[in-house]
Structure 1
Amino acid sequence: MTAPNDVFTAAKLGPITLRNRVIKAATFEASTPNALVTDDLITYHRLPAAGGVGMTTVAYLAVSPGGRTEGNQIYWRPEAIPGLRRLTASIHTEGAAISAQIGHAGPVANARSNKATALAPVRFFNPLSMRFARHATRDDIDDVMAAHAAAARYAIDAGFDAVEVHLGHNYFASSFLSPLINRRTDEFGGSLANRAKVARGTVLAVRRAVEKAGTPIAVTAKLNMADGVRGGISTEEALQTAKWLEEDGGLDAIELTAGSSLVNPMYLFRGDVPIKEFAGSFKPPLRWGIRMTGTKFLREYPYREAYLLRDAKLFRAELSMPLILLGGITNRQTMDLAMAEGFDFVAMGRALLAEPDLLNRIQADGDAVKSVCTHCNQCMATIYSHTHCVVTGAPDTVTPGV
């Protein structure tokens, strides 16, 4: 038996080397009011980079205007590249790597805010935008795959070290994987092999683009282990999809996630359910609707450390490729547990939002350091204005690295 990896040692991720095995997970920043990089966005990522993470992940960089979850998000285009170069340079100055999460929101896209038609496996109504997503044709699917390849080329040009292909949360590729949403009867519907074609084709399109560019960046993916709803993506089907992705050879690692932005987001965000705060982010009548029916959409799941570990261990047992454990990673003991269970990296979200310098403190003081994150999840409601922790506020400094 080999000794578990030390989470604070350098590690290879495909062709790149991270200074440690901790990744800041993609959490939408709400810092791009004109769909372009701002100083605020740079600060948002510079703080955890200075705070010790091995890599930070920018969320969410859409592959097309209609692929955004809302109209202020950055989408890949020449106009966005200078700002993204400033962002990557700032992170590199802090000694960390930076990944671009790329994807198409599919039925999650806010067609009203984007002023562009949303796409889905079948015609689908999004209650947040009060608009229908259009049934995606074969040409639409091909265009989305090609847009992912173009996004990878843009990411290389902008100085990113990695791209994370979004295959989760019932976004475009994930909605095709879901038997609940994907009721198609053509080559992209029915069997899992058919429903997985979009995810597999998208990853391979990105891999080919990266190889053709000749610049060594890592390619990872965020993949749902389960949607958390009856009839949605099951763990068994997700594991088979992961095996196909491994066989295809397009990925350097998979980040394992869960939940559906459409029907069950709290399956990923365990802890308190901020219905009042979430409703307050919208105008009537949607605000009233969320207050009255919010418990059906925002279901409550108790928080515990490493809450996705049980399902993730099923993937670790069947796959040989590097895996990134997400969900309830807040202290040194849980990081060490992840390493002992054979995971190659851990990803942190809310804990770093509360304390960008948490990694520096853990590395300095080990088990004595406990995260101040209370898992109140009120940060969820801030993604419509400016994402921040309501417990600690918005810190603008971090403690020096160790």
Structure 2
Amino acid sequence: MTTAALFEPLSVRGVTFRNRLWVAPMCQYAIAKKDGVPGDWHLVHLGSMAAGGAGLVIAEASAVSPEGRISDVDTGLWNDAQAEAWTRIVRFIHSQGAAAGIQLAHAGRKASVWPAWGADRHGTMAEEDGGWQTVSATAVPFPGYDAPVALDAAGIDAVIRDFAAAARRAVGAGFDVVEIHAAHGYLLHQFLSPLSNHRTDEFGGSLENRARLLLSVVEAVRSAIADTVPLLVRFSATDYAPGGWDERQTATVAGWAAAAGADFFDISSGGNVSGVRIPLSPGYQVPLAASVKAEADVRVSAVGLITTAAQAELIVASGQADAVMLGRELMRDPHFPLRAAHELGVTLDYWPPQYLRAQWPEPEDRATSAA
């Protein structure tokens, strides 16, 4: 039987993932009732990828508070009704043999915007249209958006509590994995980067100070969930701008976060500064993941324009990352892991029985039977 690094199981704390092909969090902006409660779309969207053979399915960035939403049609996990709705989705993911994760997020100064689709307007949503006042490390707006209010000590404490409370709800809903979103220019990234954090108190200035909020969130979430639950952190490893957040700072803070209780790091890039040039090409963020993995001696996943089985296998087999996360390719083909196994010559025992007739090659005892 052929083996491939991509299809080797991976254990993190009390969870063993059946392979290294994971579903990256993908915002859907699909909550018509604007109450943060996931519905049928989320069940089918995430469930199809679990049935398609993914090892870990991570649900989209879900706000830890109403004001933490990117838009008013985001999912959330700030109340029990949302947690109950997630339970149904988690149950189906588990029924397909995949692990279920959720990304907990606060958008900070990039909150209260019109959704990426379904609206004919862009930028900040005014309060009369259902928007709200945003918050950040300092009162510096993201270009084109309204100015946020700088969080005071009480506001910072509330953010930490909100992340912990959402993590408890996530585990209560059955999620196996919790991921903290500290990337893409959202609140925790806003504190990390010197380009968006101009504070002069204990949360600004030095790297230690700028990382203080993230590390406090990591500690609070770690305390709120069982020791068996893996805790991931998503970083943008660079702002792509001079004087900004970069991969060396990412590696340093990843090491600190690991000491605080994080287990795995999901390495992306960008999102905090507009007008920068991002060098898009196949696997363009893989070197960032490899650098953080080597410098911090932590486990990482790579993401970004990973589109073929051979490419994904090389990333894992070469040790550049411990897993790969796919987004757009899984939207194009939710069953990519099953197809990738075929292309790599790997036989899987977790094909959905309803789809066995589609295996490659056609089993001999089925080849002459009616479809």
TM range, smaller chain = 0.7 to 0.9
Q: Deviations over 1:196-240 (max 9, x none)?
A: 0011111111001114xx7x3221110121011223212221221
Amino acid at match of 1:66: E
Q: Distance in 2 between matches of 1:116 and 1:75?
A: 16
Q: Larger Rg: 1 or 2?
A: 2
Q: CA deviation at 1:127?
A: 5.4
SS at 2:7's partner residue? coil
SS at 1:333's partner residue? helix
Amino acid at match of 1:119: V
The answer to whether 1:254 aligns with 2:231 is no
Pairing partner for 1:360 from 324, 338, 353: 338
The answer to whether 1:106 aligns with 2:108 is yes
Q: CA deviation at 1:126?
A: 4.5
Map of 1:149 onto structure 2:
164
SS at 2:185's partner residue? coil
Pairing partner for 1:79 from 59, 78, 81: 81
Moved more, 177-186 or 23-32: 23-32
Counterparts of 1:170-185 in structure 2 under 5 Å? 170-185=185-200
Identity %: 30
Q: CA deviation at 1:14?
A: 2.2
Pairing partner for 1:245 from 257, 267, 284: 257
Moved more, 173-182 or 319-328: 319-328
Q: Is the Cα–Cα contact under 8 Å of residues 176 and 189 in structure 1 kept in the other structure?
A: yes
SS at 1:254's partner residue? strand
Q: Is the Cα–Cα contact under 8 Å of residues 313 and 341 in structure 1 kept in the other structure?
A: no
Q: CA deviation at 1:94?
A: 1.4
Q: CA deviation at 1:367?
A: 8.0
Q: Deviations over 1:26-62 (max 9, x none)?
A: 1101222222111111100011111110011111110
Map of 2:139 onto structure 1:
123
Q: Is the Cα–Cα contact under 8 Å of residues 61 and 103 in structure 1 kept in the other structure?
A: yes
CA pair 311-30 structure 1, distance change in 2 beyond 3 A? same
SS at 2:29's partner residue? coil
Q: Distance in 1 between matches of 2:337 and 2:204?
A: 44
Pairing partner for 1:348 from 326, 335, 339: 326
Amino acid at match of 1:347: M
Q: Is the Cα–Cα contact under 8 Å of residues 163 and 219 in structure 1 kept in the other structure?
A: yes
Amino acid at match of 2:207: L
SS at 2:324's partner residue? strand
Map of 1:93 onto structure 2:
95
Pairing partner for 1:316 from 284, 293, 300: 293
Q: Distance in 2 between matches of 1:33 and 1:126?
A: 26
Counterparts of 1:259-274 in structure 2 under 5 Å? 259-260=270-271, 262-264=272-274
Computed over aligned residues only, the root mean square deviation of the Cα atoms, in angstroms, reads 2.2
Q: Is the Cα–Cα contact under 8 Å of residues 70 and 114 in structure 1 kept in the other structure?
A: no
Q: Distance in 1 between matches of 2:217 and 2:344?
A: 40
Counterparts of 1:33-72 in structure 2 under 5 Å? 33-34=32-33, 35-72=36-73
Name stretches of at least 5 consecutive residues in structure 2 with no aligned partner.
Answer: 114-124, 347-353, 360-371
Q: What is the TM-score normalised by the length of structure 1?
A: 0.77
Q: CA deviation at 1:337?
A: 1.8
Q: CA deviation at 1:348?
A: 0.7
SS at 2:84's partner residue? helix
Map of 1:392 onto structure 2:
none
Q: How many residues align?
A: 331
Pairing partner for 2:247 from 219, 235, 245: 235
Q: Is the Cα–Cα contact under 8 Å of residues 98 and 162 in structure 1 kept in the other structure?
A: yes
Q: Distance in 1 between matches of 2:68 and 2:174?
A: 22
Q: What is the TM-score normalised by the length of structure 2?
A: 0.84
Map of 1:373 onto structure 2:
none
Q: CA deviation at 1:124?
A: 2.8
Name stretches of at least 5 consecutive residues in structure 1 with no aligned partner.
Answer: 265-295, 369-397
